[in-house]
Amino acid sequence: MTITDQSSGVVAGSLGILTRTATTNPIDGIALEARLTRVTPIAAMALGGAIDLDSGVILSNGSASETLNFSTAETVQDIINEINNAGLSVRARINETGTGIDVINLVSGTSLTIGENGGTTADDLGIRSLNPATPLSRLNAGLGVETVLGENDILITTQSGDEIYVNLDDAQTIGDVIVLINAAATDAAVSLVADLAVTGNGIRLTDNTGGTGPLTVADVGLSQAATQLGLTGSADPADSELIGRDSNPIRTQGILTALLDLEAGLRNDDTRAITLAAARIDPQIEDVTRIHGILGAKAKAMQETLAQMEDAGTMAEIFLSEVRDLDFAAAVTQMQSTITQLQATMQTSSVLLNLSLMDFLR
């Protein structure tokens, strides 16, 4: 069996099944990776599954928040338009690899979070800012989560007064944290469940012990894991749920954001935040210097072009001046004299060119 393209076609080659030498073995093509485009139907994004478009998502940027509904969306462009027109200074676009949608925060110093509105829309579209696959190293603008090796990191006190200690040594993602909390609750024989918030974003703890006290979460010893996961605090005694904050907000990476982070670190006497903010400022200064150099070179080129244009304008004025100041009578006389000289020269040349050897011998 052989497989070749017809004429100048490239289909077989693109599929990785081009086989010019006859073979009886199975022919395996290359893995095909579909790319999203603006006209891609939303149904195609689910690869045969379903996407919850009716519930919508909650976008919050700084103090502004909007609930977006995608129930009428048919293509990826419809999703992008809905996000871009939300009035929250955000921009949605297809990512460079064509595998999903990026949502970019356009305002320095603010935190953009994307959560659910009671369904699975944000997760289905792959735009939820805090999801089970989020690495802990990305949380808190790259500060990550600090744990104490070999020690418990989180203490959860339920409404019934039961205590659950959680060790996060093996946690790499938010999903790992949720699994470890649930495992610790099971080991302690306490009816508590951890998952992600159904409305908004953040880790949710649901207390099923039936007690009357407050559900609380605190750091243990030197660990700051609970704080950095956005879980520390107490729920109202009448509320059996505690929902943490989204510790993976979308932020701009410009120099203004770095300066604001440095200010916050200095105000809170947070040496780690100060160090990381300062480390982000240095590359920004280098970028500003590089951009200054590029702009300087472009400005110089524009000045040279402007000088050339001014010289051309001056030459044009000189030419026009010569035309305006021309003595037409003298010019016509000189031109007529030149034409007469040219005619005489041509006649002489014609006579000389007609001479032959016999003419010379005569």
DSSP states of 227-281? HHTT--EE--TT--EEE---S--B---SHHHHHHHHHHHHHTT-HHHHHHHHHHH
- The alpha carbon of residue 92 and the mean position of all alpha carbons in its chain are separated, in whole angstroms, by 9
User: Is it the case that residue 361 has pLDDT exceeding 70?
Assistant: no
CB-CB contact of 215 with 203 (8 Å): no
Amino acid 357: pLDDT? 56
Which value, to the nearest 10 degrees, does the dihedral of the CA atoms of residues 288, 290, 293, 295 take? Answer: -60
Averaged over 272-292, what is the pLDDT? Answer: 78
Averaged over 297-321, what is the pLDDT? Answer: 85
Amino acid 3: pLDDT? 76
Q: What radius of gyration, in Å, describes the C-alpha atoms of the chain?
A: 38
Question: How many residues are present in the chain?
Answer: 362
Amino acid 336: pLDDT? 86
Report which DSSP code applies to 135: B
CA distance 109 to 111: 7
CA distance 151 to 360: 124
Averaged over 211-238, what is the pLDDT? Answer: 92
Q: Average the pLDDT over each of 8-22, 143-157, 248-262 and give the range with the smallest value.
A: 8-22
Please give the structure tokens belonging to residue 30.
Answer: 């290359």
pLDDT 10s digits, 126-166: 999 999 999 999 998 788 898 999 999 999 999 999 999 99
CB-CB contact of 235 with 242 (8 Å): yes
pLDDT class of 322 with cuts at 50, 70, 90:
low
Q: Which percentage of the chain shows pLDDT scores above 90?
A: 46
Chain-wide mean pLDDT for the chain? 86
Which residues, in sequence order, are CB contacts of 162 under 8 Å at separation 6+? 188, 190, 209, 211
Distances (CA, A) of 75 to 61, 124, 125, 262: 25, 14, 12, 41
Q: Average the pLDDT over each of 21-25, 129-133, 290-294 and give the range with the smallest value.
A: 21-25
pLDDT class of 258 with cuts at 50, 70, 90:
confident
Q: Average the pLDDT over each of 14-28, 105-119, 332-346 and give the range with the smallest value.
A: 14-28
Q: Average the pLDDT over each of 205-209, 217-221, 347-351 and give the range with the smallest value.
A: 347-351
pLDDT 10s digits, 158-198: 999 999 999 999 999 999 999 999 999 999 999 999 999 99
CB-CB contact of 47 with 39 (8 Å): no
CA distance 17 to 35: 20
Amino acid 206: pLDDT? 96
User: Is it the case that residue 48 has pLDDT exceeding 80?
Assistant: no
pTM (predicted TM-score): 0.68
CB-CB contact of 189 with 170 (8 Å): no
How, if at all, do strands 101-105 and 112-117 pair? Answer: unpaired
Amino acid 284: pLDDT? 74
Residue 229 bridge partners (DSSP): none
Which residues, in sequence order, are CB contacts of 78 under 8 Å at separation 6+? 42, 70, 72
- The alpha carbon of residue 219 and the mean position of all alpha carbons in its chain are separated, in whole angstroms, by 34
For the chain, domain boundaries:
1-32, 42-129, 154-243, 255-311, 326-362
How, if at all, do strands 112-117 and 199-200 pair? Answer: antiparallel
User: Is it the case that residue 356 has pLDDT exceeding 80?
Assistant: no
Please give the structure tokens belonging to residue 83.
Answer: 């996000």
What is the side-by-side strand order in the sheet with 241-243?
192-196, 203-207, 241-243
Residue 164 bridge partners (DSSP): 156
